[in-house]
Homo-oligomer: A and B are copies of this chain.
Amino acid sequence: MFIAIVSLKGGVGKTTTAIHLSTYLHTDKPTLLIDADPNRSALVWAREDNLPFIVASQAGSATFVPKHSHIITDMKARPEEDDLLDLAKGNDLIIIPTTPNHLDLDATIKAVNFFKKHNVNNYKILLTKVDSRTTNSKTAKQFLIRENIPLFKTEIPLLIAFERASQNGKTVKDYHDSRGKQAWKQYESVGKEIINL
């Protein structure tokens, strides 16, 4: 399975999503994560070799690709329109992580409209950084459903466990934190939604 993680704005949990979906899919079949973001965040995360799967830069990924069943691409933020169309063709699924934040959502809608215009259908929105204390994820969800925009049922909560994991170069699955278990459950749940597509 080929999956690309794409977003028009940074700071929406793109790399966190790429890392944890790779972790989940790797429990299914050998998975490769290609870091195509010039920030190299996924490579920084993998720097200490605590991840269960391989992370490669785009330039260095060629030799790894044939040996893996799932290929996940952590795309750069704000790709060119041509890149977007190429990604849509070259992947089974485009995941667009978005926070319920007004400006982030605005940017995501623009991307969705672009996809609609070019008859691209293999994308799905993932709501991230959802603060359980606020209600704006509910508003965002209602809006997306009303507009018939494909959306993962699962939302990713805003939890310190993700930050802790990134500091240690681990995933929240391996980072045993008293409150962090639910963090992994959510990405597990997203992974199941993907497998069931």
Contact = CB atoms under 8 A, between A and B. Distances in A.
A77 B47 CA distance: 24
A146 B107 CA distance: 11
B39 A102 contact: no
Interface residues of A, number: 33
A99 B38 CA distance: 19
Interface in A28-58: 38-39, 41, 44-45, 47-48
B163 A78 contact: no
A48 B11 contact: no
Contact of A47 (B45, B131, B145, B163): B145
A71 interface: no
A169 B131 CA distance: 22
Nearest to A145: B47
B78 A39 contact: yes
A103 B47 contact: no
A45 to B, nearest CB: 7
Interface of A: 8-12, 15, 38-39, 41, 44-45, 47-48, 77-78, 99, 101-104, 106-107, 131, 134, 136, 142, 145-146, 160, 163, 166-167, 169
